[in-house]
Amino acid sequence: MFKEASIREPLILGNKSYGDITADVVGPIENKAPKGWYIAITISALIALWGIGCILYLIGTGIGTWGLNKTVGWAWDITNFVWWVGIGHAGTLISAVLLLFRQRWRMAINRSAEAMTIFAVIMAAMFPGIHMGRLWLGYFVFPLPNQFGSLWVNFNSPLLWDVFAISTYFSVSLVFWYIGLIPDFATIRDRIKTPVAKKVYGILSFGWSGKAKNWTRFEEVSLVLAGIATPLVFSVHSIVSMDFATSVIPGWHTTIFPPYFVSGAVFSGFAMVQTLMLIMRKTMRLENYVTIKHVEYMNIVIIVTGSIVGVAYITELFMSWYSGVEYESYAFINRFSGPYLWAYWAMMTCNVISPQLFWVKKWRRSLGFTFVMSIIVNIGMWFERFVIIVTSLHRDYVPSSWSMFHPTFVDIGVFIGTIGIFFTLFLLFARFFPVLALNELKSILKVSGEEHKNKH
Amino acid sequence: MANSVIYAMYDDDQTLLKAAKELVGKGIKVKDCYSPFPVHGIDPVIGVTRTRLGIVSFMFGLGGLSLAMLGTWYFMIHDWPMNIGGKPNFAYHLNMPAFVPILFEFTVFCAAHGMALTYLIRNKTLPGMPAVNPDPRTTDNRFVLEIDSHDNQGMTTDALLEAIKGTEVFELNHKKY
């Protein structure tokens, strides 16, 4: 059997048995939900309803209700889209890339991180949809035979690549997540007492029985899916970045965009995982599974990706000067000293300076500090997308058409609303789904459990 | 002799693995094993062969790639060539670099979903399928070896039970059918 070096900190604390792991994870599903959960879901559902109201108003009236104008034709909609897709990336990174690298600490966080991915991608996919204005014509993005002769979609366009990338990413993440969930639903099915719940979990578990051959296949499928999801996750945000990079707008037309966007995505995604996990470990008493060490590992990922993002910002600035193209230079001078300098410097502070504080070991192991930082990083990453999109557009080649972007209540309502929908979905997940990957955690209990480590 | 199935339950994965090795060493055929998580090393002992799902995934991926190439060729070169930013639209190989993202995404799409569907069908795990694990505890913290007397014609049921009792068995269930 595999033995882990004793110098490594254990990943499962306390004196746990296989049965304890089941009880700790399934317990909250069997018991009544705490009062806090009802309060949280009421608040987030109200925000979600407000968002849905704004979306319905938007669809009914048209995208003129957004603050867009002739110069700034893309603003919060695409900012929110890129922000949400970016957040999604951490889930796949944790479940796929860390699986390939045999990082066992991913097992305590992968389930919730993948759930976060799926909900975040749903939120992201909504923005291009509602930006169409006529949502009911959305099927036009697919190459379907139609009544207008041979009118096909344009396969040369990054916007179409995006359609393929996002739909593949969403569906593959969903399948990856669900395949991992099946054995855990079976655990709940065999344990839960109420007949209705037993029936529902019975259907959800697809009749999983845990035979030897099933497990062999399960491991093979997980590995192969991880193998193909890894290039997929890198491709998705690269393609999102090409929506900008293949254009000729100064400030967008840079070859650094794909890696810069991918690391930014992982950076913001891990921050969102931290926000969610820190609340969840406290409220669902998962301190023995999501340990300080897990938080520290995630903070290390945040330092690495945050530093890559910082280098990318500085490279962009350097290249705009070094290129000698005056439009390119102006786009960047305008960013850091123009009317949107507050957004630029908010982005710089949140994304470049603040993650560097995690070099201090005491701080990156502090839960309170991590929680505050995770929110700062997400605010910073929203500003990054806002800066890239709006500041590159608002002063174009003709000074007479220069303008500013002012969000309307619909812009704000839709954005806040997606946060509400996201948290509503996540709270439902936390209530009814196994929030930790039971079968995977049990398989590392003897390798990395505190009690077993001390024995040997 | 009436056929019967013996379910030998163990409370630990390593105990089960040891027991399976002992039983197989005595020439007993173990039909299956039910566990709450993959017990590594059990497959060769009880004769479970390596899965070919990896190959399935590769084939689906290849199919997806071919389909995507056929589609992009038909839409963009054959049926209705469009002049997009002066990109060459008269020969597939010249326009192909612009299709790489689509080719890649569709390959992944088909490889992942094709394999996942094959996995669910081969496992007989589909919505509404009944569970067949002999004891509800096998999805929690117990491990069961299933031994069918039909597979062990050379031994009497009593001899089988005797052999199983020799291992560190936690609970023993004997069902006639």
pTM confidence score:
0.91
Chain B residue numbers with beta carbons less than 8 Å from the beta carbon of A219 are 38
Q: Which of B123, B25, B84 is nearest to A186 (CA)?
A: B123
Most A CBs within 10 A among B14, B16, B18, B37, hence the mutation to make, goes to B37
Q: Counting Cβ atoms within 10 Å, is residue A431 exposed (0-12), middle (13-18) or buried (19+)?
A: middle
On whether the CB atoms of residues A303 and A358 are closer than 8 A, the answer is: yes
Q: Do A221 and B119 touch (CB under 8 A)?
A: yes
Question: For residue A9, what are the contacts with CB-CB under 8 A and spacing of at least 6?
Answer: A291, A293
Is the pLDDT at B110 greater than 90? The verdict is yes
Question: Which residues are bridge partners to B175 per DSSP?
Answer: B5
- Spatial contact of A142 and A93, defined as CB atoms under 8 Å apart: no
Sign of CA dihedral B53, B55, B59, B61: positive
State which amino acid sits at residue B59.
M
Outline where chain B has alpha helix (H): 13-25, 42-46, 53-72, 92-95, 100-122, 157-165
* Rounded Cα gap, residues B8 and A454, in angstroms: 31
C-alpha to C-alpha distance for A439 and A443, rounded to whole angstroms: 6
3-state secondary structure A284-309: CCCCCCCCHHHHHHHHHHHHHHHHHH
Place of tokens 């196994």: A434
Mean pLDDT confidence for B107-115: 94
pLDDT in tens, chain A (456 residues): 566 777 777 788 877 888 888 888 888 888 888 888 899 999 999 999 999 999 999 999 988 899 888 889 888 989 999 999 999 888 888 888 888 888 888 888 888 899 999 999 999 999 988 888 888 888 888 888 777 666 788 888 888 999 999 999 999 999 999 999 999 999 988 888 888 888 888 889 898 888 888 899 998 999 999 999 889 989 999 999 998 998 888 888 888 999 999 999 999 999 999 999 998 888 888 888 888 888 999 999 999 999 999 999 999 999 999 988 888 899 999 999 989 999 999 999 999 999 999 999 999 899 999 999 999 999 999 999 999 999 999 998 888 999 999 999 999 999 999 999 999 999 999 888 988 888 888 888 877 777 776 765
Domain residue spans in chain B? 4-49+131-176, 53-122
Q: Which CATH architecture has domain B4-49+131-176?
A: 2-Layer Sandwich (3.30)
Q: Please report the ipTM that was assigned to this predicted complex.
A: 0.90
How many CA atoms lie less than 13 Å away from B83 in the CB half-sphere?
Answer: 1
Check CB contact under 8 Å for A232 and B108: yes
Pick among B43, B119, B126 to test the A interface (most A CBs inside 10 A): B119
> Which residues in B lie closer than 8 A to residue A218 (C-beta atoms)?
38, 119
Q: Which chain B residues are Cβ-neighbours of A156 within 8 angstroms?
A: 76, 82, 84-85, 87, 95, 98-99
The answer, for A222 touching chain B at a CB cutoff of 8 Å, is: no
Whether B125 sits inside 8 A of A182 (CB atoms) is yes
pLDDT of residue A192: 86
Residue B100 binned pLDDT confidence (cut-offs 50, 70, 90): very high
Domains by residue range for chain A, with CATH: 18-135+151-455 (1.20.1630.10)
Q: Collapse the DSSP code of A198 into the 3-class scheme (helix H, G, I; strand E, B; otherwise coil) and give the result.
A: helix
Angle between helices A158-191 and A18-30 (to 10 degrees): 100
Of B72, B105, B124, the CB nearest to A207: B124
pLDDT of residue A308: 93
Using CA atoms, how far apart are residues A236 and A82, in angstroms rounded to an integer? 11
CA distance A456 to A454: 6
